[in-house]
Amino acid sequence: MSGSGAPGPGAAPCRFAHYFVLCGIDAESGLEPDELAGENFDQSPLRRTFKSKVLAHYPQNIEWNPFDQDAVNMLCMPKGLSFRTQADNRDPQLHSFIITREDGSRTYGFVLTFYEEVTSKQICTAMQTLYQMHNAEQYSSVCASSSCSMDSLASSIDEGDATSLAKLQRYNSYDISRDTLYVSKCICLITPLPFMQACKKFLIQLYKAVTSQQPPPLPLESYIHNILYEVPLPPPGRSLKFYGVYEPIICQRPGPNELPLSDYPLREVFELLGLENLVQVFTCVLLEMQILLYSQDYQRLMTVAEGITTLLFPFQWQHVYVPILPASLLHFLDAPVPYLMGLQSKEGTDRSKLELPQEANLCFVDIDNHFIELPEEFPQFPNKLEFIQEISEVLLQFGIPPEGNLHCSDSATKLKNLVLSDLVNDKKNGNIPSNALNMYELLKGNETIARLQALAKRTGVTMEKITTPLTEKKDGKLSCEELELRDYKLNVQLREVFANRFTQMFADYEAFVIQAAPDMESWLTNREQMQNFDKASFLSDQPEPYLPFLSHFIETQMFATFIDNKIISQWEEKDPFLRVFDSRIEKIKLYNVRAPALRTSNYQKCSTLKEAAQSIEQRLMKIDHTAIHPHLLDMKIGQGKYEQGFFPKLQSDVLATGPTNNNRWASRSTTTQRRKDRLRQHSEHIGLDNDLREKYMQEARSLGKNLRQPKLSDLSPAVIAQTNWKFVEGLLKECRMKTKRMLVEKMGHEAVELGHGEANITGLEENTLIASLCDLLERIWSHGLQVKQKENPERGQRNKGKSALWSHLLQYQEREEKQEHSAESPVAVGTERRKSDTGITLPTLRVSLIQDMRHVQNMSEIKTDVGRARAWIRLSLEKKLLSQHLKQLLSNQALAKKLYKRYAFLRCEEEREQFLYHLLSLNAVDYFCFTSVFTTIMIPYRSVIIPIKKLSNAITTSNPWICVSGELGDTGVMQIPKNHLEMTFECQNLGKLTTVQIGHDNSGLLAKWLVDCVMVRNEITGHTYKFPCGRWLGKGVDDGSLERILIGELVSSTSDEELGKQCRTPPQQKSPTVARRLSITSLTGRNTKPNAGQIQEGIGEAVNNIVKHFHKPEKERGSLTILLCGENGLVAALEQVFHHGFKSARIFHKNVFIWDFIEKAVAYLETSDQIGDNEEALLLQRSSCKTFCHYVNAINTAPRNIGKDGKFQILVCLGTRDHLLSQWIPLLAECPPITRMYEENALLRDRMTVNSLIRVLQTLQDFNIILEGSLIKGVDV
């Protein structure tokens, strides 16, 4: 809905109304049941639906807005014709509708439905016959059933709302001789802009002219001709007065820098939903979920849909938008795309009876019962509490309770007994009482009005007239206008509050727009490959609390379209919404002299409420334009004679065309049109061919969208099939885009090298992308689902937010388990047997779809099917089995045929294969999306200790123990069963594994033990970690250590290698350095001695990796333990420095270690300290001497059996943590033992090298380093 409302050429766009339509019963074709409406023939004939027809529409057609007869008929009378007798309520009702064309442009319809007496004898007789047949059937079926109670009869006749015998008889009888039959008819205006209040007034006056005892001043044709051809649209920023049958009508249009036109009263939306509910639904709409509105009343559906989409400014809903879904179009609910639809609830039906194809991502809004059902996982709107508080203040100023109006939130039971006439009372559904007096009588008891009055008294506004029965019509009219003005003011103030939130949130959005293309043609051609918005930088610039919402929101189509419009505005006129939004941001920047990059989560209230309300008030008080008065037309005399209560047959020749250009606005518009045409021709010469350009534009704008708007009119099977085919193509395209995005974001530097742009995915973004993949899979599994199959086979009861994918999995599981007793269920052999040089292996982990389901079913933390489906997707993704599992699930074709209609995505073989292929590409990267999300579940682990048999005994006689640590916790010390090298244990999720402590008590004859490595596997995800050791455990061997801390690395499975190791992301744990073994004392590295240059480079790289670690956002950091103690960590790099030039590592056949030098240095420093040398340099160094000695002694006295190299590791870790390393190095470089233990050319004896080492280590001073508990356990400093 564009504020400009200029759909095409000619004087057309300037007309207030495009068509006048009359719908009702076609006397010639008589009573035709409406099969498409799916009505039940058990219902009494008066309650059935019959086909309605468009009886007349004027003009016949307009080229810029062709008349769509089927769609208009369906939306004017969504339930078809309805019949009443004189005993029924026959109040007229108003509703509106919207037709969204495939290109996204909109047309509005405003409809007044009233009842007219049936004069055709033929139709009355047909109705009587239907009743006789119906009664005979009812009677025979009731007598046949054992319980012939009136209650059962009543419920079978009228779905539960016929509660008494009197009602039963009333509904169940029509006697041609006694009853008068009435049928519904409607008059409708179709307009380019949503002038709801003005159209409503015009139609009511037209209806009054038909029902009043006096004929109208002029024939009705005069008024209809006037509004169709002589009333222009008010220009932007102006107001217009035109004339109805009895009274003038005023409408106004916002100026170019104001919020776009919205005429639907937001007061009603807040009263119907309540503030809290509305903000939640609004958030679901922003995140493009599926929104289903549910109400008995069409106008409520329309008011809520239009109200919520209006609040999205500057964004626009980009997907299927059908606020009133006619009964014949219920298959639209099958759409596997985001949608916003309104469904009429039948009287007396319960929400639980409503079967929907998919509910996993559904926000269900029961308007009449003041109740919403939300999807399971969705983030809250930023600053939600302050936001609600600010809106409450605006509502209370207008006397509206933020919790909504109590009249709307009656319990469902009361509503069941309400007939539509009772709904008139709350005046919130736009129903019109039979006369004006009635309205004010009804308002008397209204709580809102009472509050409004009290407030008005305080503010000095006189409102007494509202509640007193009207003495003068004039007073009543003033009060009505006053209420209308209040509604206008409330509307604009509420919209300002919402718009202000986005202005604050996206004040700096322009800085992150990527303008990559030199011209529009190249941009449109390469649109799909281009990144238009720097999402990672934008998110890193936002306050932490905003991130969960914003990371989801910037992935939506509405945000993508907003950014596209921004880029296109370089070459074309700015989109009206964007123009207004940008001007607001400019204003903010003028008033706020804040640094643009500085974002705070401080809440800033809207400051423009007063001005916005004033500009509307001024327009309505001071009329800018007046249209031509209705006048007599050149009509044939005697036709269309006035007959009270009957809408006359209009003379079509006078209404078919308008006057020739005899008024100013028409000629003015043609001049501007000629100017536009000249410009267009000019642009055609210099730019693209226009048709091609339009095609490109549509393709670019629909990127990522599936099907913007299905056609309402044509319901042939071929069109339904075509629509579903578009859905299938759209789903496949979306899958391709999503998997590509997930890969590019995850592949880090490899992706950059492959030319995919800057890579920097955040943990937050990864989670968002995975959640959106889960949503896509749910939508694919919901497409073409047979609804009747939806009951859960395990549990019959309804489950909140049922998942189509999980339902399919459960049925597959059930079938497989039945076959299991005769043969093993299909098992794909997955991970290889992991062998070491000892032949000891980790047993193969069975790859099984059913087994993974059982893991998820055992997770008591997950309560719903949607949650289980999402957990299963995450687990399969982490195990790199998602594509394989889904292929296996879909290989059961008999089950797929039973569950899905022929047109379903899952039954389109070629597309399904491509879809599985796209998912297979995700195996190229490592995800931890299951481990990192389900942090509290119990997980079974299996560990294997692999000794080096050639050089030592496989089994030690002592009592070994192990302690496994991960990012989320550790297991504590666990004794390994004697004579066993393998054990399984269960504990709370440890996250990614980081270290293993292994040791023994040195008892028995064969205590010494040479361990090659320890392997630990997570038995649910299959992730296997290798903890290399290659050292002895035992007294008197190696460095005499009885326990060691081993640092882990993730082992890639062979299936990864088969997928092509070249595209694997390096595991996060390894730092990206040249692989080389640094520890000289270790078994493997003795031969290769690096030179001084390599050692210095190694130190620089180790420190640099730690600095980079701290410059990443907290959620994206890897393991600090690995950067300190891993293969290329800081400890290993410093070990190299200390080993360089170290005099022979063996003296008198005894190993000498760095720790021996450290101890000698401590002995010297402690004694030299006591000598008390008075040099100033020593005074400065005394405190560092003290701490160094204290730390070394604490490590030596710790109650742990750590060897000398292990002690050096602890010292380096503590020195790094407490920022002391740079103070200790000069102490060691200058103490006398260095000359005895190091060669002349050693790095530690070279002053320049030592100084540069100190400078490098000082760069770590700024960081708060937290060590893993396992590294320094038992050391008390």
Residue-wise pLDDT tens digits, 256-309: 888 888 888 899 899 899 999 999 999 999 998 889 999 888 889 999 999 999
* Residue 335 confidence class, pLDDT cut points 50, 70, 90: confident
pLDDT-derived band at 972, boundaries 50, 70, 90: confident
Task: Indicate left, alpha or beta for 931 from its phi (over 0: left) and psi (-120 to 50: alpha).
Answer: alpha
> At residue 176, does pLDDT exceed 80?
no
Judge whether 1 and 106 are in contact, CB under 8 Å.
yes
Asked if 1029 and 994 touch (Cβ cutoff 8 Å), the reply is no
Of 189-193, 242-246, 744-748, 963-967, the one with minimum mean pLDDT is 744-748
State percent of the chain over pLDDT 90.
11
Q: Return the C-alpha torsion angle 1224, 1225, 1229, 1230, nearest 10.
A: -40
Measure the CA–CA gap between 833 and 846, rounded to whole angstroms: 11
Q: Please name the residue ranges forming H helices in 189-256.
A: 196-211, 220-225
Q: Residue 1175's pLDDT is what?
A: 59
In 367-488 the beta strands, taken as DSSP E runs, fall at 371-373
168 against 1182, higher pLDDT = 1182
pLDDT digits (tens, 9 = 90+) for 595-615: 444 456 677 888 888 888 888
**pLDDT for the residue 162:** 41
Q: How confident is the model at residue 450 (pLDDT cuts 50, 70, 90)?
A: low
Sign of the C-alpha dihedral computed for residues 1266, 1268, 1271 and 1277 taken in this order: positive
Res. 765 pLDDT band, cuts 50 70 90: low
Backbone φ, ψ for residue 498 (5° rounding): -65, -45
In this prediction, residues 123-138 reach a mean pLDDT of 81
> Is the distance from CB of 991 to CB of 1020 less than 8 angstroms?
no
* DSSP assignment string, 588-609: HHHH----TT-----------H
User: Is the pLDDT at 1087 greater than 70, yes or no?
Assistant: no
Q: Is the confidence at residue 426, as pLDDT, over 50?
A: no
Q: pLDDT class for 199, splitting at 50, 70, 90?
A: very high
Per-residue pLDDT, averaged over 915-944, amounts to 86
As a whole number, mean pLDDT of residues 759-763 equals 47
State the pairing for strand pair 969-970/960-966.
antiparallel
Write down the pLDDT at residue 663.
47
Does position 728 have pLDDT exceeding 80, yes or no?
no
Which phi and psi (to 5°) does residue 263 adopt? -110, 0
Give residue-wise pLDDT tens across range 837-860: 445 677 787 788 888 998 898 888
Of the ranges 6-15, 621-630, 757-766, the best mean pLDDT one: 621-630
Q: Closest Cα to residue 527, out of 517, 541, 537?
A: 517
Closest CA to 1210 of 1269, 1132, 1272: 1272
Mean pLDDT of 897-915: 85
Give the largest Cα separation in the chain, rounded.
133
56 vs 29: which has the higher pLDDT? 56
Q: What is the mean pLDDT of residues 507-514?
A: 84
With contact defined as beta carbons under 8 Å apart, do 978 and 985 qualify? no
51, 147 Cβ separation under 8 angstroms: no
Of 407-416, 592-601, 723-732, the least confident: 407-416
Q: Distance (Å, rounded) from C-alpha 115 to C-alpha 647? A: 10
Residue that wins the pLDDT comparison between 639 and 276: 276
pLDDT at position 685 is 39
Q: Is the predicted pLDDT of residue 352 greater than 50, yes or no?
A: yes
d(CA 548, CA 554): 11
How much is the pLDDT for 451?
54
Of the candidates 423, 398, 401, 426, the residue with the CA atom closest to the CA atom of residue 483? 398
Q: How far is CA 263 from CA 47, 108, 307, 317, in A?
A: 33, 12, 9, 18
| Span 1246-1261, average pLDDT | 90
Whether omega before 59 lies within 30 degrees of 0, making that bond cis, reads yes
Round to whole Å and give the CA distance between 1139 and 1086.
Answer: 11
pLDDT in the model for residue 836: 46
User: Lowest mean pLDDT: which of 378-392, 435-449, 451-465, 923-937?
Assistant: 435-449
Partners of residue 998 on adjacent β-strands: 962, 1044
Query: Any idea what DSSP says for residue 2?
Result: -
Query: What token pair was written down for 181?
Result: 């039959």
Most confident range (mean pLDDT) of 487-491, 544-548, 730-734, 1116-1120 is 487-491
pLDDT single digits (tens) 102-121: 776 788 999 999 998 888 88
Reference 900, options 805, 836, 1020, 1016; nearest CA is 805
**pLDDT at res. 756:** 42
- Residues 203/112, Cβ–Cβ less than 8 Å: yes
Query: 461 CB contacts (<8 Å, ≥6 apart)?
Result: 482
Report the share of the chain in percent with pLDDT over 70: 73
Q: What would the mean pLDDT of 120-130 be, rounded to a whole number?
A: 83
Alpha-carbon span 50 to 45, nearest angstrom: 10
Residue 341 · residue 320 · CB < 8 Å = yes
**Average pLDDT estimate for 757-779:** 69
**Would you list the DSSP string of 969-1030?**
EE---EEPPTT-SEEEEEEE---SEEEEEEEE---SSS--EEEEEEEEEETTT--EEEEEEE
CA distance 186 to 204: 12
Cα–Cα dist 535/788, whole Å: 42
Q: What are the tens digits of pLDDT across the range 201-211? A: 999 999 998 88
Across the chain, mean pLDDT equals 75
Helix (H, G, I), strand (E, B) or coil at 107: strand
pLDDT over 90 (residue 744): no
Closest CA to 1047 of 987, 1116, 965: 965
pLDDT at 754: 44
pLDDT digits (tens, 9 = 90+) for 1013-1058: 999 999 899 899 999 988 888 887 877 888 888 988 888 765 444 4
d(C-alpha 264, C-alpha 842), whole Å: 67
CB 1129 within 8 A of CB 1073: no
Q: What mean pLDDT do residues 76-84 have?
A: 84
In this predicted structure, the answer to whether residue 171 has a pLDDT above a threshold of 60 is no
- Look-up: residue for tokens 């009290």? 454
Q: How confident is the model at residue 1229 (pLDDT cuts 50, 70, 90)?
A: confident
**Mean pLDDT lowest among 158-162, 604-608, 1258-1262:** 158-162
